[in-house]
Chains A and B, each alone.
Chain A
Amino acid sequence: MKIRAAIFGVFALYLCASANAQVTPERLLNASKEPQNWLMYSGDYAGHRYSTLDQISVKNAAALVPKWAYQTMAGGKFETTPLVVDGILYGTGQDDRAFALDAKTGRPIWQYQRALPGDIRPCCGRVNRGLAILGDKLFMGTLDAHVIALDTKTGNVVWDATAVDYTKGYSFTLAPLVIKDLVLVGVSGGEYGIRGFIDAYDVATGERKWRFYTIPAPGEPGSETWEGESWKIGGSPAWITGTFDPETNTTFWTTGNPSPSNRGIGRAGDNLYSNSLLALEPETGKLKWYFQFTQHDEHDYDATQVPVMVDDGEKKLIAQANRNGFFYVVDRTNGKLILATNYAKVSWSKEKDANGRPVPAKEGSPTPEGNRVCPGAAGATNWMSPTYDPQTKLFYVTAREQCDVFSTAPQPYDAGHAYYGSAYFPNEDAEPFYGALRALDLKTGKAVWEWKHVSPTWSGVLSTAGGLVFTGDAEGNFIALDAKSGKALWHFQCGASVYSSPMTYAVDGKQFVVVAAGSTLYGFGMQ
């Protein structure tokens, strides 16, 4: 009896502790081992956006129903991937809202709305993709280029750090990444002639610990890849959340287009580190190595897709389906390219260099009157998250088949003003553009199956141990597909295009799947 009571006591203690336990760096390292929670943007440090939850599976997915809905009452794109920690869901909304909901019912517990200045300059909507968490704080990057910490219990601002002057075109839209006692963010603003950077802030105080400029200054390695003074306004933002490999203590970040996005004249050279994969030391921001996907880009081919860590036997890899249409596999210990093969229609590159890296074709350069190039301006994919399912060993990515006509024109730089040097147009192809969810074989980069969308979607993808992949479409459907075959098993009409990447969690032993669409966050579960 005594032993039994003791065991019960310990168990009860454990339960209480876990119910109130704060998120620690250790919990973040082992995020995939507590699948009832969703502790960071991509679910885990590897960027898999995969959950071992299997209560909802290929067998019962057809019986999914909406369990709750939460409305932000805001217009514009709703791009959040919420976090869930021990029964509480934390999300962000348009115009830098944040909220905590009871994850079981969708009922709000607190709501936060940042008082944004009237002259912020987000390029592509007043969007935010989510939060990071550690201890009793949530971290958020704002459209006026601050990094703030919110109290998990109240939504009160704990600290507020100014990263940079937003009037020059800087903003934050990504979900931050917490590594140990630092919160990492990358800046948006590739449309304004910014100088991009990745920052790390002390989680306790908001003090900035380091900044890595994604464009080297004169004298630094790589500065020779910029013509004249162009490095000062060369863009290279870093607007999607990175990943982290604790084994090698490396954080991986990806960067966006050089500015002006569609005009290479005036910035001759490879324009490092635009459109690159960066391997950084988390404590210092020191660059270990880089791999540039698109040199001297003139088509806005941001490499801002989550760099997904995958292991193939002994090989430690990063897989990325890039906006430029190629699927890349890179050795994550040294940045060496292993595979580059196109997963969508590509015309900007016709050949590869000695290392197998696709290089830009001269005839792909935008012209004053316009030049048809594939992928188009929105890319073969974009910021929406892919997923890697360790069960099927497939990499699922939202693809877009669209070519555009890229034109170019000289444009003077004016701080804080749009700086594209271009315009682009839909081409006159007879067939309409379309999108597809493609399941790529890691070894070959070839699609094993595809689910064709009526029109291209901005939804990301989630995979689960239930043998399912979830995605949304531009027509408003949220869809569960068989991860092996791509067969649709269930769908729900959300009433608005999906511009977010789904996630999953469980409360009281019941699994939920969540996606944002329109101004509504939906929680789905079993009847």
Chain B
Amino acid sequence: MKSQKTIWWRYGMRVVVCVLILIFCAKASCAQTKNPYTGDAKIAKIGEYQFRANCAFCHGLGARGGGRGPDLTRTPKKHGDSDAEIFGTINNGVAGTAMPPNGATQQGVGMTEEEIWQVVTYIRSVEKKSDASKMGNASHGKELFYGSASCGTCHMVNGKGGRLGPDLTGAASARSTEYLTESLRQPSKRLAQGISEAMKEFSQEYETANVTAADGTKYQGVVLNEDAFTVQILDTRESVHSWEKSSLKAFEKTRQSLMPAYDEKVLPEKDLQDLLAFLAANVAGGGK
């Protein structure tokens, strides 16, 4: 019998059995911890095809990261740097992030164990050693963040700072250095992503909203979420508003970020490196 008619309690039993089987299988596959292809250049090339089809949408061509996923050429990896851990990250996803379990993206297809190892091999082949001499001064970066650069007015790191902009705890591992630099120098070029809903294809972005309410009060803020009929906004005083769009006197959205552009005059290259070093020191929720 390939199929079954279900009565709910019976179905429930089957689910329990299935879950037990799944747990057993998951444990069994975890037992595979060794990359059978370590250092194999040919396999790395095959892994690149898999990477293009399954990973590059977020992690970019060449694994250099994009607006959606981290730069994977960097080490160490935030969610574990051994081959087995990277395998696990690919296979199981990372709970609480946009990284889905293998095969659950709805767009791509699940990879076999063999294919995942090919991808791991590929990622290893493109990794770069981080250049410590280029690294800025994290403690000076912290001073800038909460001091003269005023980042902390709108951004939070490890629970300290403002709420208008994205929380930057862990941003240095979730985004490439190029992306973070661009976000500082040209914040309106690519807006940061806000809330992602489970079934929705696109995340809400940090668009700027100018609103005139029914009573004539004007508000400015970021769009927390929006649909065809309503809008939810965090204003510059960090108050949350939800309005029926039809009730507003004026509602204007722009892709001009509320964040000022930090050009070289405002933020010299060295200070920028110091800020990036501060962010990099706060990737694992440590604040060490």
Residues in chain A within 8 A of chain B (CB atoms): 76-77, 110-115, 121-125, 144, 146, 148, 154-157, 160, 191-192, 369-370, 407, 409-412, 417-418, 420, 422-425, 428, 430-433, 453-456, 458, 473-477, 479, 488, 491, 493, 496-497, 499, 517-518
Contact = CB atoms under 8 A, between A and B. Distances in A.
Contacts of A455: 200-202
A423 B61 contact: yes
B227 A420 contact: no
Residue of A420, A454, A458, A473 most packed against chain B (CB within 10 A): A454
Residue of A369, A423, A499 most packed against chain B (CB within 10 A): A423
A203 to B, nearest CB: 18
A407 B52 contact: yes
B3 A453 contact: no
17 contacts: A112-B5, A115-B4, A121-B110, A123-B108, A148-B3, A407-B52, A412-B49, A418-B50, A418-B108, A425-B56, A455-B201, A455-B202, A475-B226, A476-B227, A477-B227, A497-B197, A518-B198
Given A125-B106, A144-B2, A411-B53, 7 more contacts: A192-B109, A418-B53, A420-B52, A423-B52, A423-B57, A425-B66, A474-B201
Contacts, number: 124
Do most interface residues of chain A lie in helix, strand or loop, or is the interface mixed? loop
Interface in B179-228: 189-190, 197-202, 205, 226-228
A423 B202 contact: no
Contacts of B106: 76-77, 124-125
B3 A112 contact: yes
A422 B198 CA distance: 26
Contacts of A424: 57
The 5 A-B pairs of least Cβ separation, nearest first, read: A475-B227, A423-B52, A497-B199, A423-B56, A125-B106
A455 B199 CA distance: 13
A155 B7 CA distance: 12
Interface of B: 1-6, 11, 46, 48-50, 52-54, 56-57, 60-61, 66, 106-112, 115, 189-190, 197-202, 205, 226-229, 255
A155 B57 contact: no
A121 B109 contact: yes
A372 to B, nearest CB: 14
B254 to A, nearest CB: 11
Contacts of A192: 109
A242 B3 CA distance: 27
A154 B5 contact: yes
B228 A477 contact: yes
B93 to A, nearest CB: 13
Nearest to B112: A417
B205 A432 contact: yes
B41 to A, nearest CB: 16
Residue of B3, B200, B226 most packed against chain A (CB within 10 A): B3
B201 A493 contact: no
A191 B110 CA distance: 12
Nearest to B21: A118
A124 B6 CA distance: 26
Contacts of B189: 430
Contacts of B61: 369-370, 407, 423, 425
Contacts of B54: 418
Contacts of B1: 115
B201 A454 contact: no
Nearest to B108: A418
A474 to B, nearest CB: 5
B4 A422 contact: no
B109 A123 contact: yes
Contacts of B49: 409-412
Contacts of A496: 197-199
Contacts of B2: 114-115, 144, 146, 157, 160
Contacts of B115: 417
A212 to B, nearest CB: 26
Contacts of B201: 455-456, 458, 474, 497
Contacts of A160: 2-3
